[in-house]
């Protein structure tokens, strides 16, 4: 259960309509403002109020943002690796091989099925609202909003590229440079519903990378996304001539690992409620750790 949002009107907001303050100060979308208005979820000094009313210094605005919502995703018991949970969002460490949510004929065994079950076991009714997505075979951090307000706020941060995201990857070959920045637009490959490629008429895509360790014919790299295109890291590293280990879709070999060697390691963002920065990390997945140890020992 998320606590209501609360805002004490400062002198500079005097004379502004409440709906303007909800949008500009509290960060509610116009759609959510309409929803809280229709459901009588806004109070001014503890009393119901029209959103056209003008605010005065010292007024206390309270907005209830929790709505009971029925999910169309079937609940399914699942072991979840929860890194952090509070009233507004859930941070999970997703294992490789697990889909984010049901798609096509695959309606069970996804992260969404497990999260919905977890919430329902606590008596909560909420929709599964991931802020971003990982490919099935990418492991690591996933951020899920627990209410519409937080989902919209965090999604906006992602779209404005203000969320700092770091991935770890094992790529083929020895990268000579210590780091670099790949600025190459990405678009859908013709005649493919899945594969992407660097394309002049694609969408802007920027990835920064830094070499962490050279392991013979393999390099461990840290990657930062400045944009969030589908398969961005996989496409960019392949374009650089160093595809991810195990990423057969983009030219990598699966001789050492049977999935793309990519892990969502860290992200940093602003907590929508407190306005303070928060950071979370997830250690490398066991299969990647084991492969690195084998590479260090020259056992592959």
Q: Which of 59, 66, 88, 135 is catalytic?
A: 135
DSSP letter for each residue of 211-277: EEEEETTEEEEEEEESS--TTHHHHHHHHTT-PBTT-GGGT---SS-SS--EEEEEEEEE-TTT--E
Q: Which two tokens stand for residue 296?
A: 């260090």
Instruction: Say if residues 188 and 232 touch (Cβ distance below 8 Å).
Output: no
How far is the C-alpha of 294 from the C-alpha of 300, rounded, in Å? Answer: 6
Rounded CA-CA distance 150/273 in Å is 8
Cβ density class 130-166: b for 16+ within 10 Å, e for less: bbbebbbbbbbbbbbbbbbbbbbbbbeebeeeebebb
81 is catalytic: no
The structure tokens 């009313």 sit at 53
By DSSP bridging, strand 262-270 and strand 5-8 are: unpaired
By annotation, the residues acting in catalysis are: 135
């Amino acid at each position: 259960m998320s606590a209501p949002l609360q805002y004490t009107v400062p002198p500079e907001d005097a004379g502004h309509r409440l709906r303007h303050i909800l949008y500009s100060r509290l960060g509610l979308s116009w759609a959510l403002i309409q929803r809280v208005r229709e459901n009588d979820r806004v109070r001014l000094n503890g009393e119901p109020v029209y959103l056209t009313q003008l605010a005065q210094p010292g007024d206390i605005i309270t907005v209830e943002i929790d709505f009971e919502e029925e999910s169309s995703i079937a609940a399914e018991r699942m072991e979840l690796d929860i890194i952090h949970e509070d009233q507004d969002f859930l941070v999970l460490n997703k294992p490789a091989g697990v889909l984010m949510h049901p798609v096509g004929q695959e309606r069970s065994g996804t992260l969404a099925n497990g999260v919905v079950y977890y919430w329902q076991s606590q008596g909560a009714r909420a929709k599964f609202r991931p802020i971003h997505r990982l490919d099935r075979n990418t492991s690591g951090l996933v951020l899920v909003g627990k209410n519409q307000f937080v989902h919209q706020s965090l999604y906006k941060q992602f779209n404005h590229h203000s969320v700092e995201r770091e991935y770890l990857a094992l790529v083929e070959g020895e990268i000579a440079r210590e780091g670099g920045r790949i600025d190459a637009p990405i678009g859908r490959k013709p005649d493919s519903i899945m594969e992407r490629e660097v394309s002049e008429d694609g969408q802007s895509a920027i990835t920064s990378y830094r070499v962490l360790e050279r392991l013979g014919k393999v390099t461990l790299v840290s990657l930062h996304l400045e944009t969030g295109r589908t398969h961005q890291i996989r496409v960019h590293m392949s374009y650089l001539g160093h595809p991810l280990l195990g990423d057969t879709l983009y030219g990598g070999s699966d001789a050492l690992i049977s999935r793309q060697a990519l892990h969502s390691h860290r992200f940093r963002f602003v907590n929508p409620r407190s306005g303070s920065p928060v950071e979370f990390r997830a250690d490398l997945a066991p299969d990647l750790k084991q492969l690195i140890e084998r590479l260090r020992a020259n056992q592959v």
